[in-house]
Structure 1
Amino acid sequence: MAGAYLIGIIVFAVSAFVSWRLRSKFNEYSQIGLSNGLSGAEIAQRMLNENGIYDVRVLSVEGMLTDHYNPQDKTVNLSADVYYGRSVAAAAVAAHECGHAVQHKVAYGPLKFRSAIVPFVSVASQYMQWVILAGILLINTSLIPLTIGVALFAATTLFSFITLPVEFDASKRALAWVQTRGIVTQREYDYAKDALWWAAMTYVVAAIGSLATLLYYVSILMGARRND
């Protein structure tokens, strides 16, 4: 039990550091103007067009680091700093989100699978903590609620790991495009690569944290089964 708490503390600390580092990098590279003067919105539109994608809209959304691609309504949603920004950070983020649109167009396997299980994972995320809590409270009466709760949590953990290749591949596509199309200089490319690497690390830490929590719940369930 103590070991599980220690792992939880370590994961939380690493997650906090990575999140801080990402924001720090984004703020740093947001101050470095892009040599070609293009905005994030212009870069996104150009990347979409050059990949033969004309049915995806580029929109501005509120918040910081709220950028995302929505395959349901085919929109690349960029935060104001990225949409209007003319910086290395804006270029990196805009191209990354368009990388997801390219994945959608070419039917990239992990993205298709992730999109397919989104409805189930959304429901699981909404109820799993309550089911697990009920399972722990009823652990001496029945193990069924806890078993169901652990299964739901396992689904969300699987989702977090499926997200990893999707995010890394989108960054790979983005970096390759901005480099081959001359969108960035070599120096700007290095900065963009660094920014996207830290962004990817947030997903890695989240996946590891989810796995650690899942193993903790599994240990509780297995211990209860042995004592049953």
Structure 2
Amino acid sequence: MIFHPMDFLIFIALGLAMWAQTKVKGNFEKWSKVQATTGLTGAQVARQLLDREGLSHVKIEYSKSGALSDHYDPTAKTVRLSEPVYQGNSIASLAVAAHEVGHAIQDDSKYGMLVLRHKLFPLANIGSQMAPMLFIGGFLLNLTNLIGIGIALFSAAVLFQVVTLPVEFDASKRAKDKMLELGVITNQEEKGVGNVLNAAALTYVASTLMAILQLVKFIMIFRSRR
């Protein structure tokens, strides 16, 4: 329980996740200093993209949760943008705003992986909260079956993260394509948009890798105890 050979790989994945977070902040800061040719703000670009897709009913709200807290809320049909993105007119601001609109477009078109992620969310939420307690209880009480239940619940949380990957990559692709179609960025500015979105996607890859390795570790422990 204290140490396992898989921990070496988990530590590497953790290092990758920390590096990815640093890269996200670095890319956002870099491209936040480059103003988009159109001079439009993130909120304005989001509104134009939504209206072009026939999603005038989707609201855009200012998020007070801090920088990089941008997200799309499918239950409220609302794109929430942080202050630097909502009011900013940089390449970074436009990229993040368009990405969240990409999720709104996915929701409207019933994109398969997004629908699956929504269905997995309740079980994944329970799994991420309950699994650690079941693991600890199983090890302390030497109850292998309890560990097995924890693994089953944690698997749901890991599957949720795996499904999230294509959802995020697809939203980024939609964002770049729609921005070019609408003419809110030039072909030269596309590189900056790609750098911002690719860095963000890397954080999902790193966290998913770490979760998979943790799952493999607990499965190996479970099998050895049986």
Query: Which band: TM-score by shorter chain?
Result: over 0.9
Alpha-carbon distance, 1:85 to partner: 0.6
Matched, 1:112 2:115: yes
Secondary structure of the structure 2 residue equivalent to 1:184: coil
Q: 1:71 aligns with which of 74, 83, 92?
A: 74
Task: Give CA deviations for 1:105-132 in whole Å, capped at 9, x if unaligned.
Answer: 1110000010112122112222211111
| Counterpart in the other structure of 1:205 | 206
Query: Where does residue 25 of structure 1 map in the other structure?
Result: 27
Q: Is residue 123–residue 157 contact of structure 2 (8 Å, CA) maintained in 1?
A: no
Size of the alignment, in residue pairs? Answer: 223
Deviates more, 1:157-166 or 1:51-60: 51-60
Detail structure 1 runs of 4+ shifted over 2 Å in the superposition: none
* From 49, 55, 64, the counterpart of 2:51: 49
CA distance in 2: counterparts of 1:193 and 1:29, whole angstroms: 11
Which one of 136, 142, 167 corresponds to residue 133 of structure 1? 136
Q: What is the letter of the counterpart of residue 224 of structure 1?
A: R
- AA matched with 1:153: F
Aligned-residue offset at 1:7: 0.6
Q: Distance in 1 between matches of 2:33 and 2:86?
A: 15
Residues 101-157 of structure 1: CA deviation (Å, up to 9, x unaligned): 000111100000101121221122222111111111122xx3221011011111110
Relative to the length of structure 1, the TM-score reads 0.95
Matched, 1:215 2:181: no
- Tell me the residue number matched to 2:86: 83
- What SS does the corresponding residue of 2:189 show, helix, strand or coil? helix
Which deviations, in whole Å up to 9, do the C-alpha atoms of 1:46-81 show, x marking residues without a partner? Answer: 110000002211111121111111111111111111
Please give the secondary structure, in 1, of the residue aligned with 2:60.
Answer: strand
Deviation at 1:2, TM superposition (A): 4.6
Percent of residue pairs identical: 35
With normalisation by structure 2, the TM-score equals 0.96
Question: Please, which of 32, 35, 38 is the counterpart of residue 36 of structure 1?
Answer: 38
Which deviates more from structure 2 when the two are superposed, residues 175-184 or residues 116-125? 116-125
Q: Which residue of structure 1 lines up, in the alignment, with residue 144 of structure 2?
A: 143
Q: Deviations over 1:80-105 (max 9, x none)?
A: 11011110001000000000000011
Aligned counterpart, 1:167 = 168
Q: Which runs of 5+ in 2 are unaligned?
A: none
Q: Secondary structure at the match of 2:6?
A: helix
Tell me, which stretches of 5 or more residues in structure 1 are unaligned? none
Whole-Å separation in 2 of the counterparts to 1:180 and 1:122: 37
Q: Find the counterpart in structure 2 of residue 192 from structure 1.
A: 193
Deviation at 1:3, TM superposition (A): 2.6
Q: Which amino acid aligns with 2:79?
A: V
Q: Report the AA paired with residue 74 of structure 2.
A: P
Secondary structure class of the residue paired with 2:118: helix
